[in-house]
Amino acid sequence: MKDILAREAVLFRLRTYGYRRRDRRVRHYFAAERSKAPARELRKTKVALLEAMREHINDYCAVLASADGIETNWTSQHLKAEASLDAGFITIPHIRSHVAYAVALHEIGHIYGKHQRHPSTMVRERWAWKFARRHAMLWTEEMETQKVTSLKWYESQIRTGHVPALHPPTEISTRDK
């Protein structure tokens, strides 16, 4: 019981991490952008923000491993991102951009998001993106574009029969483009 409560407490903290821009590195980034700070200053805030994103994802990976036995594999290619609830792993890109951060949160959303046992591929995809957007410390246009592109890709793959529209709930593994 204590373990379950501890896990929920950690997950709650991660889900609200930087939420409503509480992380000072997010605030600094926006402040520097707004005030048209010199390039050097702007770069510094960008690096600090990436560091915050990396910490956020690393913290999630630690909980995935210790509380839920889910392994994280790292990749240099966004196109190789994937998540498998049943095989117990996620593959996520190294956090070197906002888009990589969004993709990593999306894969985590396939584990901790709502409706991830739903047979419809599109339902699982949409809710994994909802998880990503909701729990990201910021959501930029590039991140939104990634979401839209990925969902469109799934729609076309389903239309052409390359990805099944429905999955048996016991074999859920999502190979994200």
Which spans of this chain sit near Zn ion (rule: CB under 5 A)?
125, 128, 174, 176
What is the number of the residue whose Cβ is closest to Zn ion? Answer: 176
Report the alpha-carbon distance of residue 177 to residue 92 in Å, rounded. 12
Nearest residue (CB) to Zn ion, 23 versus 125 = 125
Least distance (Å) between residue 93 CB and Zn ion: 13
Which residues is 72 bridged to in the sheet?
Answer: 90
Q: Which is nearer to Zn ion, 23 or 176 (CB)?
A: 176
Q: Which is nearer to Zn ion, 23 or 82 (CB)?
A: 82
Q: Which residues contact 171 (CB under 8 A, 6 or more apart)?
A: 86
Name which of 122, 167, 138 is nearest 52 in CA terms. Answer: 138
CB 132, min distance to Zn ion, A: 9
**Residue whose CB is less far from Zn ion, 38 or 164:** 164
Sign of dihedral through CA atoms 125, 126, 130, 136?
positive
Compute the least distance from the CB of residue 51 to Zn ion, in Å. Answer: 26
State the nearest-atom distance from the C-beta of 109 to Zn ion, in Å: 8
CA-CA-CA-CA dihedral for 29, 31, 36, 37, to nearest 10: -70
